[in-house]
Every structure is written in structure tokens, then in C-alpha cells.
């Protein structure tokens, strides 16, 4: 029982950490949205009283033209504190106090400055954005925004701590209670028997097992890199391209016979599956633009495509793992295409047209 | 029965060609996409050449050399029409390439169905059925040498050509891609190189290494020599003292440093569309690693696929891969049909895997068309070989109205003077006025991708620019053009005529003249 308790707590901690970082990045995107759609679009003049003011609250910037952006911003923000510091002043002011804002004399971000350099839990402590604008009197102004990412992250952790403790205690109690309620069932033996079954299935080798590892390594590598955003910028894409070229060149050459590899495969496969579910839930469609679609639609589209592709390969039962992987990965690949986006609003057409098209084209081209 | 199938095939083929012809010469794209903003990347260099600037000397061209020079030489009823006809003809040639591959090389029974699918993917692939023409930079104008490479590789492989013939054909392809555009030459060179590398790694031995090195070295030498000869002819015909070849490759370099990256696009997409292409390729390679013929077939066309995927990576936009659908469709289909006759159970499975992207891409496109069927007649009705240039005789427009500036522009004597508009606004920047003579080589946007020193050097070495007087309208909404303006002010003597909140209007002369 102790093992189950520890395992459940480990899983909970992983899920909690994931949830915290995921929420953090959603809020950070929201701050970026605020800068791009409110601060960057706003024309500032002396009469508004913002220029040179020390403590500008973001709420002070609401007006008729940007209200819809504010509504969207506040919807995601809800009651989370953002610690946004806004300053609008003349260029000379920023030149004279450049270090205070993390800038060099030429008003570029200074990589050696503490504000820019400091990190906290792998993330940059300060999120800084600024741009130059000319007001009606031809004065060059700098609109500067700094958001404290460290405080934001800690705030999110604090907000979710209660939930974590409640969940943690509930799970502990639930597991303990279940042993009292069902004393005759030896949970551990059931668990162990299932684990052994799974292990036997995992280690079962067939003549085509050699195909799995390279494929899973490639997909796993791809998913891990992107999912965890190891690099947050475009370098990631170059890394990807390099890895794809290397994978095409080298992976078919490696001989995989060690069964430990097979266990490793399945472990990656499960992780990829979790990521896949996450994608369906949170970031469906091209650049997440279809996230507003009802959850049931997402599930329906993916499950329908899964079935279709699985059916396509159904004749080849020996390759069941590969069939499963392809049927799992491809639906999301397809839906990430821009063309996929129309189908969310016109889901019924998708069902009616795509299935016969797929079957007809498959039949005709196979001839 | 066979005759009946043949007659049906020919009937459908004629129908497809008729429809493809209409779609290839559709004109609705000219008025879409931000008032022709993307079109201006191709039209404005042609306008620049017609006003005296020269490619590979003082007229930068982001998307290539031959694909700008040919429409300029065509010169049918103005730059826009020349480019329109050039693009339409390229579309038709590309469909003929697919036809030749399907009928002559692969000898497919259902070739009309295959060509039909290829044509819709080529001409109507986007959700709104715009096709590639809205952004010519995503269509055949950019990737044409890749289609030629696919045709040649298919031809070489299926006719068991000798080493000498292989080298000659691939050299000509590489040469034409080098002249077409630097980016196209990267795709072709990478495809050939990566294929040879895979061929070498399949059977690594000294003999193979020597063979691969010989073939590679010969292809590069012959293609560079041929390109040199063509460029010399160009240099003499256009009376250019010395060519600036750096200008040909400068945009490829700028791309590789990330100028084309879109901010919103760098949000990484897990399971992005790239996996749909790379996973079947990898899987097929693994499964066929013991079958040399199949392995090399996959490696050959797979190399082309991997080469063109870099287009999506360079822009860091996952969905840019949509523009490559026709190439993927063609490559995966050829792999499938070439492998089809050499089958075992294992290979049968890999055939299924290889066919899957083709079927998915085609099904998505087909579904798009069925859903948007109402738009088809409207698109077809815009078919025209010759564009009425009166459609483009638009007066200059400013996004933020300023009558004093418009008045000044109206007064310009285009025989003596010229105008350049430094803006990102499509409405203001892409005015297709037939009298228009550019002051700076255009489009101005293209010049912002280079360093100041580089642009200044081009301007200073340009005889045309040195002797040209003109006006500059600077849109201050974007600070992108400040450096270009500074460079012009350094070289020319510029007088500020009008300054408004949004625009600055300058008149510039050669320093000696003032």
C-alpha cells in the first residue's frame, strides 16, 4: 500500500507542476496580448497625464476603442495578479536611466543587465517589452512595460496550493479507505498481476519489433522538445530540422534487438499519448486558434480520424503498435493544417465528405 | 473494355486541362491579399528593371533571378500581365510534368484521376480555394526547379540511365535552379547531395565514395560552368560592367538568419504537420532497409521532401508546409508506384504507410472543394490571358488621407522624376500606376532585410540611382524604413516638402546637381 501511496503522490506532484507551468505560460501569453493590442496600439499625448507618471495602472488605459481587448484580457486574467509596471516617457529619460529599465545606452535590451539576465526556476524573472512612438508634438516617447514573472509564478503556485493539499489528502484518504472498505481484495496483488501482464505484453517480441524504437525515438524527441519549449524561440525549429535530417540518415541504420529498448519505447509512447490528450484539450488546431471549439467536437474529430486511420491499417495486425502510433499522431497532424480549421464549425460536412473522399481516393490510387 | 477506359481517360484528361487552364489564369488573386502586397515582391523588381535598374547589379530581388527576368523579357502588356501569364504558364507546365510522370514514366492506369488530384492540390489547395497565386511566393514561381528535379529523377531512375546521362541531366537541373533563385538551388543541391549521402551510407565502401564524389563534383562543376556562361550572356546583353552575385544569395542568407519569421508563428506546435510527412518517410526507410532498390527509391524522393521542408522551418511557420502539398503528393505517389511491383508482406505495409499522406492530403483538398463548391464558378469566371491594364490605373492612395501630399504626387513629371513609398501599407505602397517610375529599386520592403552598409553600397554603386531625381514618401507608422531613408539622405540631397503626423514627403536630388 505504501508503494501505491508514494506513486499516487508522485503522479500528483508531476501533474501539479505541469498545471502550474501551463497556467504560467497562458498568463504570460495574456500579458503579451495586452502589450500588443492595448499598449502598442494606443496613441499617447500629454493631455492624458500618463507621460512621466510613475504608477500607471493598466486599468487606467481602458477606453472605447480597446474595450474589447480588455474584456478578452480580463477573462483570462481573472483574479491572478500580473505585477505589470508601465512607464511612458521621453527618450532622453530612458537614456539617462537606461540601467533601471534593463536597457543599454542605445536603448536595446542589455543582456548583462540584472533585469534581463535574472532567471527563476528556468524562466526569465522579468518580462520586458517596449517601443518608440511619436506623439502629436513630434516628441519621441518610449512606451515601456515590465511584468514580474517570478511573482506571477509564485502567485499561481500560491493560488493552487490549497487545491494541491486538498487533492493530496483526498487521494491518500481514498486509497487508505478503499483498503478498509474492500478488505478482501488484495489491491497490491491485483495491481501486481496487471503490471506483470502489461510487462509481458511490452516485452513480447515479434519479427517486426525492430521498427518501433527508431520511430518512437523520433516522435518522442520531437514531442519532448516542443512540448517543454526547451528553446522558446525559432532556434527550436532549426534544431528540429537538423534532428529530422539526422534521423532520416541514421535511424534506419541502427539495429534494435535489445528488449530494454522495447520497454523504453512504451514508456515514451505513454508520455506521447498524455501530450496528445493535452493537445486535444488545450491547443487544438492551427496555432491553437481553434481552442474555443467545444471539447466534444475536438474529441469527436480526433476519435473519428483515429478510427479511420486505424481501419486503413487494420489488415496488418502484426504492426499493431505502429498502427496505434500512426492513428494517434496523424489526426492531430492533419488538424494542425489550416485546412482543418474549417471543419470545426462545419463538422457535419467533414464527416460526410472526408470519409468517402478518403475511401475513394485510397481505392483509386491503390490500383 | 480497354478502349472504353482509354476513351474515358482521355475525355477526363481534356476536361481537367480545360479546368486547369481556367484556374491557372484566374485573375481574382490580383485584387486580393492586401491590395497586391505579395504580388509587389515580383512586380516591383520588374518595374524597377524597366525603369533602368538591373538584376544582380542594383535591383534586389527577393524571390530570384530567372523568375523575374523571364516575365520582364516576355513584356506582354505591362509587368503585371507579363507576370500573370508567366505564372499561369508555369502552372500548366507543372501539370504537364505530372501528366508526363503518370502516363509516360509510371504508366498509370488511372492517370486522369491522378492528374485531377494533383491539379486541385496545385491550384485550389487552401481552405478558401485561393490557390497558390494569391501569394506567388508560395507557388510554382518559387518551387518550379523542384518539379523539374522530380521529373528528371523519375526519368533517370525508371530508364536506367548511365552515370554520364545522370550527371548531365542533374547538372542542367542544378544550373537552372541556380539561375532561377538561390533558394531553389538550395532545394535542388540539398536533394541531390542528401540522396547521394544516403546511397553511400547504404553500402559504405571506398569505391562507392569515389563514385559519389565523382558524380557530385561533376554535377557542381558543370552546373556552375553553365550558369557562368548564361550569366556572361546576361551581362553582355544588359551591358553590365560587373555582376554582384552576392545579391543573388543575400536573401537566402537573410532567411537563414530569420528575417522571415512571423512572431505568431513561433509558437511551437506539437505534432505539427511536419510529422505527417517525416514519419511515413522514416518508417518506410526503416522497413525497406534490406531492399536496396526500395530504399534508394525512398531516399531519392525523400531527399526532395526533406529539402523542401526547410522552407517551412526557415519561416518557422508550421502551416507553411501547406504550400508544399503538391510536391509531397507527387513525391509520395512516385515512391508508392515505383515500389508497388517489388512487394513482400513487409513492403506492402510500407506501401500503405507511404500512400497515407498522399491520400490524406488529397482527401483534405477534395473535401475543401466540395464544401466550397459555390466559389468555383466565380473563380473560373475570372480566367483571362490578358489583363486589362486599365484595372490598375489606380490613383495613388494614402491610408491616412493627406490632400497636400496627393497634390504633390499628382504634379510629378514621371519623365524627369520618380517616386518611392516607404511603407508596409498595401493600400499606399502597391499602387499599380502605369506611369509610375520608382526612385529606389523596389519593393522597398525587400531592402529592409539587409544591413545598412550593404544597402548603402548597392545605392552608391548604382549609376541609375546616382543620376535619378525623385520623391520619397516615408510612412512613419513603421520605423522599419528609417535606416533606408537615412542612407538616401546621406547619398542624395533631400529637401523636406511636407511633414504630417503620419507621413514625411521629401524631394531628393543628386548632390552634384544641387
Rounded to the nearest integer, the mean pLDDT of chain B is: 85
Per-residue pLDDT averaged across A75-97, rounded? 83
Chain B closest-CA separation from residue A56 CA (Å): 25
Least confident of A166-170, A327-331, B115-119, B127-131: B127-131
More confident residue, B188 or B260: B188
Give the chain B residue nearest A342 (alpha carbons). B127
**CB contact at 8 A, A301 and A350:** yes
In this model, does residue B171 exceed pLDDT 90?
yes
Contact B274 A337 (CB under 8 A): no
Nearest CB neighbour to A211, from listed B125, B283, B318: B283
- What's the mean per-residue pLDDT of chain A? 76
Residue B33 falls in which region: left (phi positive, over 0), alpha (psi -120 to 50) or beta: left
**How many angstroms separate the Cα of B338 from the Cα of each of A142, B66, B278, B295?**
62, 33, 19, 11
Which of the pair, B470 or A105, is modelled with greater confidence? B470
Q: Which of A222, A330, A346 sits opposite B371 (nearest CB)?
A: A346
Cβ B356 vs Cβ B280: under 8 Å:
yes
Cβ-Cβ contacts under 8 Å, A350 against chain B: 367
Q: Which residues pair with A56 in a beta bridge?
A: A86
Mean pLDDT of B165-187: 95
Using the predicted structure, report yes or no on whether residue B60 has a pLDDT greater than 70. yes
Residue B112 and residue B9 in contact, taking contact as beta carbons nearer than 8 Å: yes
As a three-state string, the secondary structure of A276-321 is HHHHHHHCCCHHHCCCCCCHHHHHHHHHHHHHHHHHHCCCCHHHHH
pLDDT at A288: 44
Mean pLDDT value across residues A310-336: 83
**Of A3-17, B48-62, B265-279, which one has max mean pLDDT?**
B48-62
pLDDT at residue B29 greater than cutoff 80: no
Q: What is the structure's pLDDT at B89? A: 94
Residue of A nearest to B283 (CA): A215
Inter-chain contact B201–A253, Cβ cutoff 8 Å?
Answer: yes
Q: Is the pLDDT of residue B220 over 90?
A: yes
pLDDT the model gives residue B345: 59
Residue A275's pLDDT is what? 72
Q: Do B364 and A350 touch (CB under 8 A)?
A: no
Looking at B161-175, B213-227, B455-469, which range is the least confident one?
Answer: B455-469
- Chain A residues in contact with B368 by the CB 8 A cut-off are 339, 342
- The alpha helices in B397-451, defined as continuous H runs, are 403-410, 426-429, 444-447
The more confidently predicted of residues A277 and A248 is A248
Residues of chain B contacting residue A342, judged by C-beta atoms under 8 Å apart: 127, 368, 371
CB atoms B269 and A226 under 8 Å: yes
List the grid coordinates of B344. 513482400
Burial grade of B411 (CB within 10 A; 0-12, 13-18, 19 or more): exposed
* B114 neighbors B98 (Cβ within 8 angstroms): yes
Nearest to A176 by CA among A350, A5, A355: A5
Are B240 and B232 contacting, i.e. CB atoms less than 8 angstroms apart? no
**pLDDT-derived band at B222, boundaries 50, 70, 90:** very high
The reported pLDDT for the residue numbered A360 is 87
Would you say B470 and B417 are in contact if contact means Cβ atoms under 8 Å apart?
A: yes
Instruction: Read off the pLDDT band of B300 (50, 70, 90).
Output: very high
Query: A232 pLDDT exceeds 80?
Result: no
CB–CB contact B127 A236 (8 Å): no
Chain B residues whose beta carbon lies within 8 Å of the beta carbon of residue A329: 271, 275, 279
Q: Nearest CA of chain A to the CA of B115: how many Å?
A: 11
Buried b (16+ CB within 10 A) or exposed e, A160-195: eeeebeeeeeebeeebeeeeeeeeeeeeeeeeeeee
Please, which residues have CB within 8 angstroms of residue B440's CB and are 6 or more apart in sequence?
Answer: B420, B447, B459, B465, B470, B472, B484, B488
User: Which of the pair, A188 or B216, is modelled with greater confidence?
Assistant: B216
Is the pLDDT at B273 greater than 80? The verdict is no
A-B contacts at Cβ under 8 angstroms: 196
Q: Quick check: B438 and B418 in contact, CB under 8 A?
A: yes
Parse chain A into domains and list their residue ranges: 2-155, 199-366
Residues of A in contact with B356 (CB under 8 A): 309, 312, 326, 330
Q: Do B110 and A354 touch (CB under 8 A)?
A: no
Q: Which of residues 433-472 of B touch A (CB under 8 A)?
A: none
Instruction: Report whether pLDDT(B332) > 90.
Output: yes
Q: Report pLDDT digits (tens) over A283-313.
A: 554 444 444 555 666 677 778 888 899 999 9
In A95-196, the DSSP E strands lie at 119-120, 123-124, 126-134, 140-148
CA distance B324 to A44: 44
Reported for A175-183, long-range contacts at CB under 8 A and 24+ positions apart, including other chains, are A175/A1, A175/A4, A175/A5, A175/A8, A176/A1, A176/A5, A179/A1
Report the run of H or E that residue B219 belongs to, with start and end: helix B206-237
Cβ pair B269:A210 closer than 8 A: no
Q: Please state, in angstroms and rounded to a whole number, the distance separating the CA atoms of residues B111 and A177.
A: 68
- Name the packing angle between helices B111-123 and A355-366 (round to 10°): 130
Residues from chain A that touch B198, judged by Cβ atoms under 8 A, are 248-249
pLDDT tens across B110-159, in order? 888 999 999 989 988 776 777 665 578 888 999 999 999 999 999 999 98
Instruction: State whether B125 and A339 contact (CB < 8 Å).
Output: yes
Amino acid at each position: 500500500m505504501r508503494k501505491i501511496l508514494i506513486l499516487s503522490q508522485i503522479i500528483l506532484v508531476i501533474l501539479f507542476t505541469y498545471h502550474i507551468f501551463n497556467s504560467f505560460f497562458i498568463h504570460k501569453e495574456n500579458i503579451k496580448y495586452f502589450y500588443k493590442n492595448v499598449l502598442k496600439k494606443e496613441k499617447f499625448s500629454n493631455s492624458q497625464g500618463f507621460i512621466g507618471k510613475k504608477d500607471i495602472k493598466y486599468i487606467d488605459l481602458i477606453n472605447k476603442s480597446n474595450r474589447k481587448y480588455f474584456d478578452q484580457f480580463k477573462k483570462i486574467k481573472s483574479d491572478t495578479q500580473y505585477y505589470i509596471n508601465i512607464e511612458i516617457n521621453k527618450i532622453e529619460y530612458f537614456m539617462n536611466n537606461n540601467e533601471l529599465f534593463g536597457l543599454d545606452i542605445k536603448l536595446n535590451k542589455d543582456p548583462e543587465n540584472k533585469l534581463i539576465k535574472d532567471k527563476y526556476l528556468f524562466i526569465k524573472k522579468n518580462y520586458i517589452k517596449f517601443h518608440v512612438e511619436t506623439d502629436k508634438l513630434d516628441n519621441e516617447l518610449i512606451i515601456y512595460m515590465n511584468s514580474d514573472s517570478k511573482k506571477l509564478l509564485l502567485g499561481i503556485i500560491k493560488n493552487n496550493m490549497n487545491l494541491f493539499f486538498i487533492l493530496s489528502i483526498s487521494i491518500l484518504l481514498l486509497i487508505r479507505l478503499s483498503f478498509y472498505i474492500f478488505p478482501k481484495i488484495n489491491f497490491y496483488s491485483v495491481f501486481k498481476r496487471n503490471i506483470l501482464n502489461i510487462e509481458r505484453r511490452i516485452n513480447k517480441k515479434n519479427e517486426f519489433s525492430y521498427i518501433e524504437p527508431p520511430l518512437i525515438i523520433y516522435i518522442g524527441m520531437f514531442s519532448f522538445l516542443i512540448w517543454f519549449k526547451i528553446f522558446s524561440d525559432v532556434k527550436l525549429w532549426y534544431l528540429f530540422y537538423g534532428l529530422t535530417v539526422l534521423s532520416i540518415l541514421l535511424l534506419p541504420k541502427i539495429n534494435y534487438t535489445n528488449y530494454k529498448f522495447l520497454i523504453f519505447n512504451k514508456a515514451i509512447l505513454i508520455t506521447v499519448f498524455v501530450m496528445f490528450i493535452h493537445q486535444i484539450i488545450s491547443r487544438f488546431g492551427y496555432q491553437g486558434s481553434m481552442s474555443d471549439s467545444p471539447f466534444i467536437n475536438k474529441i469527436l474529430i480526433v476519435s473519428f480520424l483515429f478510427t479511420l486511420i486505424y481501419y486503413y491499417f487494420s489488415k496488418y495486425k502484426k504492426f499493431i503498435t505502429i498502427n496505434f502510433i500512426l492513428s494517434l499522431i496523424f489526426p492531430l497532424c492533419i488538424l494542425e493544417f489550416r485546412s482543418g480549421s474549417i471543419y470545426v464549425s462545419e463538422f457535419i460536412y467533414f464527416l460526410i465528405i472526408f470519409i468517402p473522399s478518403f475511401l475513394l481516393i485510397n481505392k483509386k490510387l491503390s490500383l | 473494355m480497354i478502349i472504353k477506359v482509354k476513351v474515358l481517360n482521355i475525355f477526363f484528361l481534356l476536361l481537367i486541362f480545360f479546368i486547369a487552364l481556367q484556374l491557372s489564369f484566374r485573375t481574382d488573386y490580383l485584387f486580393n491579399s492586401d491590395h497586391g502586397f505579395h504580388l509587389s515582391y515580383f512586380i516591383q523588381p520588374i518595374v524597377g528593371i524597366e525603369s533602368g535598374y538591373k538584376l544582380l547589379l542594383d535591383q534586389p530581388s527577393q524571390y530570384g533571378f530567372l523568375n523575374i527576368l523571364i516575365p520582364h523579357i516576355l513584356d506582354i502588356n505591362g509587368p503585371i500581365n507579363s507576370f500573370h501569364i508567366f505564372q499561369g504558364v508555369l502552372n500548366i507546365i507543372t501539370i504537364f510534368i505530372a501528366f508526363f510522370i503518370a502516363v509516360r514514366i509510371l504508366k498509370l492506369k488511372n492517370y486522369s484521376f491522378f492528374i485531377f488530384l494533383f491539379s486541385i492540390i496545385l491550384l485550389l489547395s487552401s481552405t478558401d480555394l485561393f490557390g497558390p497565386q494569391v501569394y506567388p511566393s508560395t507557388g510554382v514561381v518559387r518551387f518550379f526547379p523542384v518539379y523539374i528535379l522530380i521529373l528528371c529523377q523519375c526519368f533517370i531512375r525508371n530508364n536506367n540511365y548511365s552515370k554520364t546521362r545522370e550527371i548531365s541531366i542533374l547538372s542542367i537541373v542544378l544550373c537552372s535552379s541556380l539561375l532561377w533563385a538561390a533558394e531553389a538551388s538550395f532545394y535542388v543541391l540539398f536533394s541531390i547531395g542528401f540522396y547521394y549521402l544516403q546511397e553511400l551510407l547504404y553500402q559504405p565502401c571506398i569505391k562507392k565514395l569515389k563514385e559519389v564524389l565523382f558524380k557530385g563534383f561533376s554535377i557542381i562543376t558543370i552546373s556552375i560552368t553553365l550558369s557562368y556562361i548564361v550569366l556572361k550572356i546576361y551581362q553582355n546583353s544588359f551591358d553590365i560592367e560587373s555582376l554582384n552575385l552576392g545579391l543573388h544569395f543575400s536573401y537566402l542568407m537573410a532567411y537563414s538568419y530569420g528575417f522571415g519569421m512571423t512572431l505568431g508563428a513561433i509558437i511551437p506546435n506539437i505534432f505539427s504537420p511536419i510529422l505527417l510527412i517525416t514519419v511515413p518517410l522514416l518508417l518506410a526507410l526503416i522497413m525497406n532497409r534490406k531492399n536496396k532498390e526500395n530504399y534508394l527509391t525512398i531516399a531519392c524522393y525523400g531527399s526532395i521532401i526533406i529539402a523542401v521542408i526547410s522552407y517551412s522551418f526557415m519561416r518557422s511557420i508550421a502551416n507553411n508546409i501547406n504550400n508544399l502539398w503538391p510536391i509531397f503528393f507527387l513525391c509520395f505517389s512516385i515512391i508508392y508506384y515505383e515500389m508497388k511491383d517489388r512487394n513482400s508482406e513487409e513492403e506492402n505495409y510500407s506501401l500503405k504507410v507511404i500512400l497515407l499522406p498522399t491520400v490524406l492530403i488529397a482527401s483534405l483538398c477534395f473535401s475543401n472543394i466540395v464544401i466550397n463548391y459555390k466559389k468555383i464558378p466565380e473563380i473560373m469566371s475570372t480566367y483571362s490571358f490578358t489583363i486589362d491594364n486599365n484595372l490598375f490605373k489606380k490613383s495613388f492612395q494614402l491610408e491616412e488621407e493627406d490632400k497636400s501630399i496627393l497634390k504633390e504626387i499628382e504634379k510629378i513629371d514621371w519623365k524627369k522624376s520618380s517616386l518611392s513609398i516607404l511603407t508596409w501599407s498595401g493600400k499606399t505602397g502597391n499602387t499599380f500606376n502605369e506611369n509610375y517610375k520608382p526612385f529606389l529599386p523596389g519593393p522597398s520592403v525587400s531592402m529592409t532585410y539587409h544591413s545598412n552598409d550593404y544597402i548603402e553600397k548597392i545605392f552608391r554603386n548604382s549609376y541609375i540611382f546616382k543620376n535619378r531625381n525623385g520623391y520619397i514618401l516615408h510612412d512613419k507608422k513603421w520605423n522599419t524604413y528609417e535606416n533606408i531613408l537615412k542612407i538616401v539622405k546621406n547619398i542624395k540631397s533631400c529637401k523636406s516638402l511636407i511633414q504630417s503626423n503620419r507621413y514625411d514627403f521629401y524631394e531628393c536630388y543628386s548632390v552634384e546637381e544641387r
